[in-house]
């Protein structure tokens, strides 16, 4: 029987382990050389994937069609690879059991390991129990709870669980996770991501509309000539 590929899915309590989401994307190419596939292309994509799984698009001001299929796209890329997979969806840590099952169903056939990051003060007994029951085997639930959860220590701890060293994968050039900025809550941080995402989409629409008008004008000028 062929050995199942492993997936290390990071989920995190507010503010604990946020660096993992952006560090995985930033070091995507280097991680590939270390035998780790990172199917997500941006932190925005993982955020929208979480919104998709949790069906919280209305709460974030999105139409369903704007987030639908985001997680499926990430999983499709994961299935295309041949190496161990690492993906971070910190927002889904507190998901309900049906939501967890929906998320994991798309990875059926792979050996899923869940990495839950939390601060010393977080009450995660119920959360850990839900994820532990979903992955079925206790050795596939990894809880990272550091007394001093600095980004470097959390990143190193995650790498140790997932099977890669972080000595060559520094954080100096990794963009700050939004939650690290002076914002009052994780909800505010996530809304900041959503605001930036909407700005990017507006710029894309503007560019598309400009290109359309330019082509239309070019056709008119050609017909006159």
Q: pLDDT, tens digit, for every residue of 25-64? A: 999 999 999 999 999 998 889 988 998 999 888 877 788 8
Query: Is 190 inside a domain boundary?
Result: no
- Given a cut of 80, whether residue 221 has pLDDT beyond it is no
Inter-residue contact 5 to 111 (CB < 8 Å): yes
Domain range holding 30?
6-184
pLDDT in tens, 164-178: 999 999 999 898 775
* Residue 58, C-beta contacts closer than 8 angstroms, at least 6 positions apart: none
List, in sequence order, the alpha helices (H) in the chain.
Answer: 18-26, 28-33, 43-54, 64-67, 70-80, 97-105, 125-135, 151-162, 186-224
Question: How many structural domains is the chain composed of?
Answer: 1
Query: Is 192 inside a domain boundary?
Result: no
Query: Is 197 inside a domain boundary?
Result: no
Query: Is 222 inside a domain boundary?
Result: no
pLDDT in tens, 143-199: 999 887 789 999 999 999 999 999 999 999 898 775 444 444 555 556 556 555 654
The model's confidence at residue 141, banded by pLDDT at 50, 70 and 90, is: very high
Output the pTM of the full model. 0.78
Inter-residue contact 48 to 60 (CB < 8 Å): no
The CATH number assigned to the domain holding 67 equals: 3.40.50
- Given a cut of 90, whether residue 213 has pLDDT beyond it is no
Query: Is 65 inside a domain boundary?
Result: yes
Among the listed residues 109, 110, 111, the one whose alpha carbon sits nearest the alpha carbon of residue 139 = 111
CA 60/CA 57 separation, integer angstroms = 5
């Amino acid at each position: 029987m062929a050995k199942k590929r492993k997936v290390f899915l990071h989920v995190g309590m507010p503010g604990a382990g946020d660096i993992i989401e952006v560090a995985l994307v930033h070091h995507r190419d280097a991680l590939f050389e270390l035998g780790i596939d990172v199917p997500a292309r941006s932190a925005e994509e993982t955020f929208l994937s979480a919104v998709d799984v949790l069906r919280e698009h209305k709460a974030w001001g999105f139409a369903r069609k704007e987030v639908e299929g985001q997680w499926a796209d990430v999983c499709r890329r994961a299935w295309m690879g041949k190496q161990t997979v690492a993906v971070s969806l910190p927002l889904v840590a507190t998901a309900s059991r049906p939501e967890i099952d929906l998320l994991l169903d798309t990875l059926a056939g792979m050996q899923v390991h869940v990495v839950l990051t939390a601060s010393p003060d977080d009450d995660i007994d119920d959360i850990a129990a839900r994820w532990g029951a979903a992955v079925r085997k206790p050795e596939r639930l990894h809880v990272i709870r550091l007394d001093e959860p600095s980004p470097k220590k959390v990143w190193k701890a995650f790498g140790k669980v997932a099977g890669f060293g972080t000595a060559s994968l520094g954080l100096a050039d990794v963009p700050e996770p939004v939650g690290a900025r002076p914002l009052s809550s994780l909800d505010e941080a996530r809304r900041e991501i959503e605001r930036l995402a909407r700005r990017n989409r507006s710029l894309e629409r503007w560019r598309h509309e400009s290109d359309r008008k330019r082509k239309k004008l070019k056709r008119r000028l050609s017909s006159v000539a």
